[in-house]
Amino acid sequence: MRIDKRFLPAAAVAAFMAASSWVHATPDTLELGETQLKSLKVEKARLHRFSLSRDAVGNIAFNDERTVQVFTPYPGRIIFLARHQGDEVRKGDTLYAIDSPDLAQAESAAISAAGVYKLTTDALERAKALLAVRGLAQKDYQQAVSDQQAAEGAYHAARRTLRIFGKSEQEIDRIVSTRQVDSRLNVGCPLDGKVTVVSRSAAIGTLVQPGNPPAPYTVSDLSTLWMIANVAESDLPLVRVGEEVDVKVMAYPGRIFHAKVDNIGVQVDLNTHRAPVRCVIRDPRQELQPGMFASFAIRTGSGKEFVAVPEDGVVREADGSMSVWVTTDRKHFSRRKVKIGVEQGGLDQVLEGLKAGELVATEGAIFMSNAIDSAY
């Protein structure tokens, strides 16, 4: 952040001035003593390529492609809640369970089909034995075969129905063998990867229907987020998919998050004359939260080279102008007005007033500016 001399503590200035007596000073020149020089850092102004960019504002949002509202696949009443908001889950982990009449009916149908299948299979075996000793007419044997095949098809269809409900083969075998109906239907997380429960509206006893909002649970992969910037229509021709974006949020002052343009809106708002530009950012540490206000700097080209100095070498004066302290011998310094452009990566773009290779004070420049103004 660029230093503003107006907010520099007076005690810090006094300490700098007391470090040594002034050798020589005028309103815009300064000769420092050895002790004062130790508290300064001098660097060369250098050429740096500053990317062209356009600023916009927007907000952090969920990645809709990695966010799912987990509705129940069948009607029922919620009987169990397994997770809370903020819990991390993986694919298949149970979120909640319902008492499902459809599941109970499907299990009853499977038990009934299994009984008929066994009955017709036994009947077919007896028919084969009778046919072998000519104790049964051919047409009666064929009827037994037909009955057995129909029962077998119905039984396998009933098992497939239970698999649709999420029952494993072992669970289906247990239902058939014990002839006990269990109407509990577990509803699991459908997303793979590191997923978080972002909302829960479910309550025990609530009757839920497929697709009937609100969804009992919503889960999302928060390792990637969307950032929706509202870009002025005059800047839209400069924005391209894949361009890099620097993002700042109020929760982390001084931090820059990096993203890329993923999608550009196809319609401009009639009132604001802006269009949404979607960016994708990876956030493996999950520091960002959907809903955060954000400012965006969208790069729109490779940029040009300009003279650059570290941002702590540029001082905002009391009149709002910008200045740097220039030296040729690292002892005598002169204050020079400069015109500043953008700030990127801790460097200030100097548009006028300084050449590459000139020596400028960086750390401690603010003390010289404030101290000499106090003296005059």
311: domain CATH number is 2.40.420.20
pLDDT band at 20 (very low <50, low <70, confident <90, very high): very low
Work out the percent of the chain whose per-residue pLDDT is above 90: 56
Cα(281)–Cα(192) distance, rounded to whole angstroms? 19
Local structure of 132: helix, strand or coil: helix
pLDDT band at 5 (very low <50, low <70, confident <90, very high): very low
Query: Does residue 162 share a domain with residue 20?
Result: no
In the predicted structure, residue 62 carries a pLDDT above the cut 90: yes
In the predicted structure, residue 8 carries a pLDDT above the cut 80: no
Count the Cβ atoms, other than its own, within 10 Å of residue 266: 7
Query: Does residue 252 share a domain with residue 206?
Result: no
Number of domains in the chain: 4
Tell me the two tokens of residue 106: 């499907």
CB-based contacts of 145, cutoff 8 Å, min separation 6: 124, 127
Q: What is the pLDDT of residue 254?
A: 78
In the predicted structure, residue 336 carries a pLDDT above the cut 50: yes
State which H helix or E strand residue 333 sits in. Answer: strand 332-344
The range of the structural domain enclosing residue 284 comes to 54-64+222-299
In the predicted structure, residue 343 carries a pLDDT above the cut 90: no
Q: Are strands 42-44 and 257-264 parallel, antiparallel or unpaired?
A: unpaired
167: burial class by Cβ within 10 Å (0-12, 13-18, 19+)? buried
Contact (Cβ atoms closer than 8 angstroms) between residue 23 and residue 31: yes
Neighbouring-strand partners of residue 336 = 324
| H-assigned helices in 185-270 | none
Q: For the segment 184-242, what is each residue's pLDDT rounded down to a tens digit?
A: 999 999 999 889 999 999 999 999 999 999 999 999 999 999 999 888 888 888 888 98
Query: Does residue 30 share a domain with residue 138?
Result: no
Q: For the segment 244-256, what is each residue's pLDDT rounded down to a tens digit?
A: 888 989 998 878 8
CB-based contacts of 226, cutoff 8 Å, min separation 6: 60, 61, 62, 63, 64, 262, 278, 279, 280, 281
Query: Does residue 149 share a domain with residue 27?
Result: no
Q: What is the pLDDT of residue 35?
A: 78
Q: What is the pLDDT of residue 304?
A: 78
Q: Are strands 315-316 and 3-4 parallel, antiparallel or unpaired?
A: parallel
In the predicted structure, residue 14 carries a pLDDT above the cut 70: no
Contact (Cβ atoms closer than 8 angstroms) between residue 338 and residue 322: yes
Among 307, 305, 306, 304, smallest CA distance to 358 is for 307
Query: Does residue 143 share a domain with residue 12?
Result: no
Query: Does residue 206 share a domain with residue 73?
Result: yes
In the predicted structure, residue 337 carries a pLDDT above the cut 90: yes
Tell me the two tokens of residue 208: 């839920």
pLDDT band at 294 (very low <50, low <70, confident <90, very high): very high
In the predicted structure, residue 4 carries a pLDDT above the cut 80: no
Q: What is the pLDDT of residue 326?
A: 93
Strands of 120-232, DSSP E: 184-188, 195-200, 207-208, 217-220, 224-232
Q: What is the pLDDT of residue 52?
A: 67
Q: For the segment 67-117, what is each residue's pLDDT rounded down to a tens digit?
A: 999 999 999 999 999 999 999 999 999 999 999 999 999 999 999 999 999
pLDDT band at 6 (very low <50, low <70, confident <90, very high): very low
Which amino acid belongs to residue 322?
A: M
Average pLDDT, the chain: 87
pLDDT band at 7 (very low <50, low <70, confident <90, very high): very low
Query: Does residue 363 share a domain with residue 339?
Result: yes
Count the Cβ atoms, other than its own, within 10 Å of residue 352: 10
Query: Does residue 200 share a domain with residue 154?
Result: no
Q: Are strands 244-249 and 293-299 parallel, antiparallel or unpaired?
A: antiparallel
Quick check: is 185 in a domain? no
Query: Does residue 214 share a domain with residue 228?
Result: no
CB-based contacts of 334, cutoff 8 Å, min separation 6: 28, 29, 30, 325, 326, 327
158: domain CATH number is 1.10.287
Query: Does residue 84 share a domain with residue 114?
Result: no
Cα(305)–Cα(289) distance, rounded to whole angstroms? 36
Query: Does residue 239 share a domain with residue 213?
Result: no
Quick check: is 183 in a domain? no
Contact (Cβ atoms closer than 8 angstroms) between residue 1 and residue 254: yes
Query: Does residue 214 share a domain with residue 80?
Result: yes
